[in-house]
Structure 1
C-alpha cells in the first residue's frame, strides 16, 4: 500500500480541494496521513468532516504551532505510515486522477522519485478556491486558455504522459527540480537515513537535504516529470 504524507498549515480551503482531487484517484489502494504543522481548529474540523465520507483512510497528525517545523511532523508521519511506499504531497496541490497510479508505476527498489508541478497564478488560484468542489474535467477543459492568459506556467505536462525507463534516472545529485510537494521513496529508505533533518527549521531546502542523503546512501533518483 502507498501512504500519502500530506503536509498542511492553516489553509483549509486549499486542503479541501487537494483532498477532493485525491478522492477521485483511479487507484485507491492508499492511505492519507495529514502532517499538520499547527493549524487552527478550522483545519481540524474540515478533516473530521471529510473523514466521514472519504474513500480511503485519513489520519490527522497535529503538533503545536511553534514556527515552521515541517520536518518534525513529517517524521511523525513517516513513523505512522502503514504503507511500504511514501508519496509526499503538500496541501495546496491538486493532483491528476492517475497521480497515485503513476507513482506506483515509477516505484522501484533502490530508487526515489522527484516529481514536478504546474504553478497557478493568484487569479486562477482564487477562482479554483471559489469552486464548491474540485472538478478535474472542468479544469482541463480550459487548460489552453489558462496557459494563454498566464493562469498556469506549463501546458504540455498536463496533456502528455511518458512511460518509465532508464532515461528517468539521474546520473548524479543535482539541486534542480527537487520539489517536496511531489516526491516519493520507500519507507524503509526514509527510516534508514533518519527521516528529515529536524534541525532544519524555517522554510526551505529540507526536501533537497532529504534527497541528497538518500542518494548519498546509494539510491538512484528518478524523474517523475511527464508522469506525476
Structure 2
C-alpha cells in the first residue's frame, strides 16, 4: 500500500511540474501579444493629406504589436529628395535640403508631422493623430551611405499610438511632406515576410493554454490527494 501511495505522490509531482512548465511557457508566449494584420497596401508619394486606409480586425492593447515591412522609395521635389519609408535619404548625393544619403531632414510646418523626417511613412487617423511607423534608426539605414529600400519594424501598439485600438478602427497611411505636386514613387507596405509570430502564438496556445489550465486544476487538487493518501496510511 505504501509503495502504491509513494508512486502516486511521485506521479503527482511530475504532473504538477508539467503544469508549472506550461504556465511558464504560456506567459512567455503571450508576452509577445497579438499581432495586428497590415494588409498589403501601396502608398504613393502624393498620399500626403489623404491616403489609402484599412479597417482593423480585432481589439488591440498597448502590448500588442505590428510587425511590418515597407518596400520602395518616394521622391519629393521632382526627385531631388528620395527616401525610404523611415524617411532616411537614399538619393541623390546631395538633396534639395542639403542632406546626403543616410541622413534625414525635418519636415517644415504644413506637413502632417512637422519636425519629423520628410517622406516618412505615417499611420493613424484624425482621432488618433498620425504617427511615424518606421523609426529612422540604423536598421533603416540611418548613418549608412547606402540605406536599404526594403525595411522592417516590429513595434507595440502603445509605442506607436499611445492608446489601445478597437475593432473596426480605420487607419490611414500618409507620406510626410508639405505638398503633393512634385512627388512620385511609392511604398508597398504589409506584414513582415517570414515573421509569423501571431501564427506561432495561435498554434502554441492551442496546446499550452489547456495544459496550463490542467496544471492549475491539478495544483488545486493537490492537498485533497495528499490528505486522502495520509488517511489511507
Pick the TM interval, shorter chain: under 0.3
- The higher relative CO (CA closer than 8 Å, separation ≥ 6) is in 2
Quick check: which one's helix share is greater? Answer: 1
Quick check: which one's strand share is greater? Answer: 2
Structure number with bigger Rg: 2
